A and B are shown apart, each in its own frame.
Chain A
Amino acid sequence: MEKLLISPSPHVRSGASTQKIMRDVLIALTPAELLAILVYGWSEILLLVVGVTACVLFEWAITKWMLGKPSTIGDLSAAVTGLLLVMNLPSSTPWWIAVIGALFAIGVAKMSFGGLGQNLFNPAIAARVFLLISFPQQMTDWTATPGFIHATDAISGATLLGVYGEGGMEALTAAGYPTNHRLFFDIGGSVGEISAGLLLLGFIYLLCRKVVKIWIPLSIIGTVALIAGIFYTVNPAVYTGAVFNIMSGGLLLGAFFMATDYVTSPMSAWGGVVYGIGIGVIVMMIRYFGSYPEGMSFAILIMNCAVPLINRAFHSRKYGRA
């Protein structure tokens, strides 16, 4: 008879793999990105191809030539980083900025920490913040590029959050708030912010596939709603409301797809709640009182730092140790 295989138990596995998980994330992001391509046209396709290819290439090159390890691009995590990075850029971003972003995301934020699973910060967010600081002009140029479908009348101009940050409530009202706001289709801002509805659809897909758990996004959105609700109730003339804050900017993109990044979020459910609350508080403080109009990236990065501490403080409930 042939040689028998021997190994410690268990002898079967669920068949889950990193690649499958990452593929699910890519699938979940696809609807929003497709809409973005329709609306923003060729320049978005260019960004997408350049961003994702650059991330994958950089990861391949670094593992091959700098670390001398087997390539890890097959797990698709670099592709996810690339897609998230592209979705965090304005459609008018020059392609070379996307390449620099990819280099920072993969080279600095991911591989220099030891690669997948070791990074402290979400690579896509770290890269976005890096680009925002390095190229403030290009990164806040919200001029919508011509797309395949005629989008709306509002082709150019700042985001509503930007308007609010610059000119306060008065300017925002002038820009059409609160009526000029739609769930499934909203132009202005990074490409990934195009449709709250499609992001939600993708997130529901991830929930159904049991890729992510609901606690982190729920606590982020809940905290934002609570804080905005309180401030709005106290003084609606100065502060924006809950719905506006949840639907605006990268909040949903961040809450659904970036704050839930396995590597940079807490392991336990309660830890996730604390992490989410932290993000919610920081994002609202930045939006109301900070000098940046949008605070989601900063909020996630700051809370990323706290994750090791949160993991220390919150553990799962153990059997027989009540």
Chain B
Amino acid sequence: MTGTILWTILILSGLGLVLAVVLFFIAKKFKVEEDPRIDEIEKALPGANCGGCGYAGCRAFASSAVAAPDLEKHFCPVGGNAVMKQVAAILGFELQEKAPQVAVLRCNGSCEARPRVNTYDGLQSCRVKASLYSGDTLCAYGCLGCGDCEEACAFGALHINPQTLLPEIDEEKCTACGACVKACPRTLLELRNKGPRGMREFVACRNRDKGPVAKKACANACIGCGMCFRTCTHGAIVFENNVSYIDFSKCKLCRECEAMCPTGSIHGVGFPKPLDKEAVKERIRKRKEEAAHA
């Protein structure tokens, strides 16, 4: 009995020893030399592997960053400037800070404003829907509401509102990784600068149809009237293809365009006070009168 136990222990220990030696030499022989900074950078990164930086994951980002001549093409949107500062320190680069961004939805065609004219009965996926049809509404540019963006978001920052069938973005959770931007077949989601104290202005519509067509499809559509373009005194409005777009580098957040928009397709976010449309319109009218006098 004791003999059996003894033998068992001896044989197993011997086996373990032999294998350990073999493993040791194999590990030595096939060791891959790696830049130790890759590990360091990877540790500094958030580790979400979201792909928001354009690389396959945090490690791919790290190994690419080590080889890069500067950090121009490497920015971790999730970690933001804080993390990039650490990365830059590891690599000995100077960091150019980037303005924090957030995803915004450029469609405000809620169920109420944009009636469903068809019933879609296929796989609930925006991509599938968009590949065959203009959707179940008359708007061929708007949100399809199947939630591809919600699925793509690794941070749970996007949720389809069952009332409007539009995604809503949780600014606290959004890391501006850009996954939703890529997932949306209509490119309705856009990364925009968060703006000073979180204030920003954008056109929540991409409908390029002519006014009457757009209006028929959706009450909230940009009808391409150009009112915002004519009102803006900062040259921030790009107006082409029957739809406006606000260039955030030029926008001074005066909210005049928002006040003048007849369909309410221009949205202001993060402002401390709600927009007093009449007051702003009055201000614009006075300014125009003065200009006419002069």
Asked if chains A and B are in direct contact (CB within 8 A), the reply is: yes
List residues of chain A with CB under 8 Å of any chain B CB.
Answer: 3-8
Q: Would A8 and B117 count as touching, CB distance under 8 A?
A: no
Give B98-131 as 1s and 0s: 1 = Cβ < 8 Å from A's Cβ atoms. 0000000000000000001111111100001000
Q: Would A6 and B116 count as touching, CB distance under 8 A?
A: no
On chain B, the number of residues with a Cβ less than 8 Å from chain A's Cβ atoms is 12
The docked-state distance in angstroms from the alpha carbon of A279 to that of B225 is 75
Given A3-B117, A3-B118, A8:B128 Cβ within 8 A: yes
Residues of A within 8 A of B117 (CB): 3-4
Q: Would B132 and A5 count as touching, CB distance under 8 A?
A: no
Q: Would A8 and B123 count as touching, CB distance under 8 A?
A: yes
Residues of A within 8 A of B119 (CB): 3-6
Q: Would A4 and B118 count as touching, CB distance under 8 A?
A: yes
- Going nearest first, the 7 A-B pairs with the smallest beta carbon separation are A7-B121, A7-B122, A8-B122, A6-B118, A3-B119, A4-B118, A5-B119
Q: B93 at interface (Cβ–Cβ under 8 A)?
A: no
Give the distance to chain B from A8, nearest Cβ to Cβ, in Å.
Answer: 5
List residues of chain B with CB under 8 Å of any chain A CB.
Answer: 116-123, 128, 132-133, 136
The docked-state distance in angstroms from the alpha carbon of A4 to that of B136 is 9
Q: Would B123 and A5 count as touching, CB distance under 8 A?
A: no
The docked-state distance in angstroms from the alpha carbon of A5 to that of B116 is 11
- Closest residue to A3 on the B side, CB-wise? B119
CB<8 Å pairs between A and B, sample of 10: A3-B118, A3-B119, A4-B117, A5-B118, A6-B118, A6-B119, A6-B121, A6-B136, A8-B122, A8-B123
Give the distance to chain A from B252, nearest Cβ to Cβ, in Å.
Answer: 44
Residues of B within 8 A of A6 (CB): 118-122, 132-133, 136
Give the distance to chain A from B191, nearest Cβ to Cβ, in Å.
Answer: 31
Q: Would B116 and A3 count as touching, CB distance under 8 A?
A: yes
- Closest residue to B122 on the A side, CB-wise? A7
Residues of A within 8 A of B136 (CB): 6
The docked-state distance in angstroms from the alpha carbon of A5 to that of B118 is 6
Among A3, A4, A7, find the residue whose CB has the most chain B CB atoms closer than 10 A.
Answer: A7
Give the distance to chain B from A36, nearest Cβ to Cβ, in Å.
Answer: 45
The docked-state distance in angstroms from the alpha carbon of A3 to that of B121 is 12
The docked-state distance in angstroms from the alpha carbon of A5 to that of B122 is 10
Residues of B within 8 A of A3 (CB): 116-119
The docked-state distance in angstroms from the alpha carbon of A298 to that of B132 is 50
The docked-state distance in angstroms from the alpha carbon of A123 to that of B128 is 36
The docked-state distance in angstroms from the alpha carbon of A4 to that of B138 is 13
The docked-state distance in angstroms from the alpha carbon of A6 to that of B120 is 5
The docked-state distance in angstroms from the alpha carbon of A8 to that of B121 is 8
